[in-house]
Amino acid sequence: MIEIFQYGFIVRGLEAGILIGLIAPLIGIFLVLRRYSLIADTLSHVSLAGVAVGLLLKINPLWTALGAAALSSVAIERLRTSKKIYGETALSIFLSGSLALAIVIIGLAHGFSVDLFSYLFGSIVTVKQTDVYIILGLGTLVALAIFLFYKELVYIAFDEEAATVSGLPVKVFNTLFVLLAAIMIAISIPIIGILLISALLVLPTITALQLKLSFKMTLFWAEIISVFSIITGIITSFYLNISSGGTIVLIMLFIFGAVLFAKGKIKNSYAK
Amino acid sequence: MSVNHQKNIIEIKDVSFSYGNVEVLKNITLDIHQGDYISLIGPNGSGKTTLLKIMLGLIKPRSGQVKLFGQTLRDFNDWSKLGYVPQKAINFDPLFPATVREVVAMGRFGKKGLLKWLNKNDQSFIDDALSNVEMTQYADRLIGNLSSGQQQRVFIARALAGEPEVIFLDEPTVGVDIKTQDEFYSLLTHLNKKLNITLILVSHDVDVVSNEVTEIACLNQTLVYHGDPKKFMKSDYVENFYGKHACSVSHHH
């Protein structure tokens, strides 16, 4: 067990992973409760176009992914609230449009020296030391924003109309929130991969929701599940030499299934 | 707080509103005074909920003006004077992970302002709000696990926690049984008489509210009646709007 810490990439992967694991539920719980899960999926596909641009221009793809996700998060929120088109259609325009753009850029560059696969499904081997610093910096920013506006975000998630009447600038908070989600998604790419990010954001929260607890305790358990899955996922993926993103998501799914199963058992034993 | 029943706290002047080409409200002029317990009634589609949302600034009227506490909606910023109990029976998420106490605390957020945490003083307002609606013993229960009558009380408590001068209620008794409904109305009377809170209640249940409220405003695109509920019940309006054609009056069977 100790010997894996001799590998620099494992240590970097765990550092980045634990940071991501801590921040993901802070965004995830609001995404789930506001029925915004599809936005996470869309923004992660937009990030792929960003990654492609970064690889083409030889800039750190984390930055270009961040830029692409942040810009489109604001655009999506505007399009959605303008009510000129249906909310979901706004999302699918961005989702398929950015995928198309990514494919074209990748084609123009005649493939990349870096394995695109690792951006799609996550691979801790590609995590560089600068990535860890970027994740630490931006992750702290996201966590701080959620902490500072926690009570407003909870109120808006529960009852947007009453929050508006109480004088909160709901539109500003909605835009701020999708922007934070975009940052979270961009920095999760190296660990979890573009195609699996929404699972990372959604699964710990919906598992914790099954426990029927207060908001704070739901968030607490989502944190535990998230960080636990990431640590065990990264270590398992190292020993089995498989994708870290896939392993993490499967562990999260397993916990979700186990909680559902245990809940069913408890219900049955009460019924008897 | 002494109540001045002459003092206008809400002034609606010539307000009109339409959804697309459908005119919902036409030239509504209505004053609501401090201490009033007024019900906005009218058949389905008469624009009563729309008018409530216009007063709250949730939707903008096509023309006309609304003043809250002497200020136009655009200049008004003392939102903590208003409490709002939305029509929860329809759009409330029963799976939302929040305890009764967490929900009631939300009512305090607007008053508190950004970047400030609730302190002991705020907690005592939350305690008072819970005890006013007799929900103290349910404080740690999940909101989704309560009966709809209890949930409605929690939403009243949420409004109370912000120390409002006026509370707006949108069809609060939808989906609530008769006994719970009676208890609910005695709670509202308590708020109005004892706590001197002005109440504005949207309802389709003419029979019930006319026995409870002190004023009725009957809408049907225009304001067709405003005044004493007893006189209203004896008038032809009831027959016209609810009688033969539109059967939206619910008689107690």
Which residues lie below 8 Å from residue A23, measured CB to CB, with a gap of 6+? A139, A142, A143, A184
Contact assignment for A213 to B97 by CB distance below 8 Å: yes
Digit-coded pLDDT (tens) for B186-232: 999 999 999 999 999 999 888 888 889 999 999 998 998 899 998 88
- CA A213/CA A224 separation, integer angstroms: 14
Asked whether B218 and B237 are in contact (CB, 8 A), the reply is yes
To test the contact with chain B by mutation, choose from A159, A176, A263 the residue with the greatest count of B C-beta atoms within 10 A, namely: A159
Q: In terms of CA atoms, which chain A residue is nearest residue B111? A: A166
Q: Is the pLDDT of residue B91 over 70?
A: no
Q: What is the mean pLDDT of residues A14-39?
A: 94
**B162 interface with A at CB cutoff 8 Å:** yes
- On whether the CB atoms of residues A102 and A51 are closer than 8 A, the answer is yes
**A113 interfaces chain B, CB cutoff of 8 Å:** no
Residue of A214, A216, A263 to mutate when probing chain B, most B C-beta within 10 A: A214
Higher pLDDT, B4 or A184: A184
Is B58 close to A209, i.e. CB distance below 8 A?
Answer: no
Identify the residue whose tokens are 């299934």.
A257
pLDDT digits (tens, 9 = 90+) for B209-221: 888 999 999 999 8
Residue A72's pLDDT is what? 93
Burial of A144 (0-12, 13-18, 19+ CB in 10 A): exposed
- The Cα B35–Cα A156 span in angstroms is 30
**Using CB atoms, which residue from A33, A148, A215 is nearest to B102?**
A215
pLDDT tens per residue across span B35-59: 999 999 988 888 999 999 999 999 9
Q: What percent of chain A stands above pLDDT 70?
A: 97
Beta carbons within 10 angstroms of residue A12's beta carbon? 20
Give the mean pLDDT of A20-33: 96
* Domains of chain A as residue ranges with CATH: 2-195 (1.10.3470.10)
pLDDT by residue (tens digit) across A124-172?
Answer: 888 889 999 999 999 999 999 999 999 999 999 999 999 999 999 999 9
Chain A hits for B96, Cβ within 8 Å? 33, 157-158
Q: For residue B173, give the DSSP letter.
A: T
Residue A65 has pLDDT above 80, yes or no: yes
Question: What pLDDT sits at residue B251?
Answer: 41
| B117-176 residue pLDDT tens | 999 999 999 999 999 999 999 999 999 999 888 999 999 999 999 999 999 999 888 878
- Helices (H), ranges, chain A: 8-33, 37-57, 61-82, 87-108, 116-121, 129-148, 150-158, 160-165, 170-192, 197-209, 215-240, 244-271
Contact criterion met (CB < 8 Å) for A151 and B106: yes
pLDDT of residue B249: 42
pLDDT for B230: 87
Q: Which residue has the higher pLDDT, B106 or B3?
A: B106
pLDDT at residue number B127 = 97
| Helices vs. strands in chain B: H and E counts, helices first | 9, 10
Average pLDDT, chain A: 91
Taking an 8 Å cut-off on Cβ atoms, the answer to whether B97 and A215 are in contact is yes
Question: Strand, helix or coil at A193?
Answer: coil
Provide φ and ψ at A61, rounded to 5°.
-60, -20
pLDDT in tens, A221-257: 999 999 999 999 999 999 999 888 999 999 999 999 9
pLDDT band at B244 (very low <50, low <70, confident <90, very high): very low
- From residue B227, give the alpha-carbon distance in Å to each of A144, B214, B249: 53, 8, 19
Reported ipTM: the value is 0.91
| Nearest Cβ partner for B110 among A167, A215, A218 | A167
Instruction: Provide the pLDDT for residue B193.
Output: 94
pLDDT for the residue numbered A121 = 85
Q: Do A148 and B115 touch (CB under 8 A)?
A: yes
Question: Does residue B243 have a pLDDT over 80?
Answer: no
Inter-chain CB proximity A152 and B107 less than 8 Å: no
Q: What is the pLDDT of residues A181-213, one digit of tens each?
A: 999 999 999 889 888 999 999 999 999 999 999
Q: Using an 8 Å CB-CB cutoff, list chain A residues near B139.
A: none
Q: Does A4 touch chain B (CB under 8 A)?
A: no
pTM for this one? 0.92
> Which residues of chain B neighbour A153 with C-beta distances below 8 Å?
none
Q: Do B97 and A167 touch (CB under 8 A)?
A: no
| CA distances in angstroms from A90 to A33, A74, B182, listed in the order given | 20, 12, 46
Q: What's the pLDDT score for residue A1? A: 61
SS (H, E, C) A46-58: HHHHHHHHHHHHC
Specify the DSSP element, H or E, that contains B22. Answer: strand B22-33
Strand (E) or helix (H) holding B232: helix B229-234
- B97–A contact, CB cutoff 8 A: yes
**B158 at the A interface (CB within 8 A)?**
yes
Percentage of chain B beyond pLDDT 70 is: 93
Q: Which of B49, B114, B146 to mutate to test the interface with A (most CBs of A within 10 A)?
A: B114
Q: Indicate yes or no: CB of B58 within 8 angstroms of CB of A165.
A: yes
Nearest chain B Cα to A154, which residue? B106
